[in-house]
Structure formats: C-alpha cells, structure tokens
Structure 1
Amino acid sequence: MSYFRNKIALISYEGIAVDAASLWIRRGELMVLVDEDQYVTCPYSEKKFYFVEL
C-alpha cells in the first residue's frame, strides 16, 4: 500500500477541512484519508501530495 501526505491544508469532497501533512492512501485517482473515525476523500494531485514510506 502506498502512503502519501498532503503538502497544504485542503477541503475534501465531503466538505471537511484537512490539515497539511495528514496521512492518506491512494486508490487510483482518489485519495482516502487514514482516519478510523470518518471517511474523507479528495482527488489525487502531484502538486498537493507527496509519497512517504512508513
């Protein structure tokens, strides 16, 4: 599984504000926030996300 962090704060498809450097996984062109409490998604963009190794 590939993990990413967002470079900047952003607003998800669901209208939720997400702080910069939050942890995400990529599913195709959709990013899914790693969060057990809520399902948060946004589109993938190389300008907004960077790959991380855990």
Structure 2
Amino acid sequence: MTLLKVRGACPHDCPDTCGLITEVENGRAVNFYGDPDHPITQGWLCAKVRPYLDH
C-alpha cells in the first residue's frame, strides 16, 4: 500500500489559511498535520481543524 502525501490548505476562511499535509492510503485520508513549510503557520493547526478525521 502506498502512502500519498497531499499538500493543501484549510477550507475555513481564516486570515492564516493554515497549510495542511494529508496522508492518503487507498483513497482515504488516514492522517493530516500542519505543513511545517507554510510561511505563516509553520506546522501549527487551530482547534477547528485538528478533529477533522473524527468526522
């Protein structure tokens, strides 16, 4: 099974637009975390985004 890492951004309309890296396996998101290379948020994710995989 191949783990694919996909870069993206939070869909909320916040000023920071947090950068995300989502790990996808077999077409499903299995993990995600803040993008450490994002110039503003530098890997940090707000409380609104952290529980996304629970939904």
Same fold (TM over 0.5): no
Q: TM-score, normalised by structure 1?
A: 0.32
Q: Which is richer in helix? A: 2
Q: Which has the higher contact order (CA 8 A, sep 6+)?
A: 1
Q: TM-score, normalised by structure 2?
A: 0.32
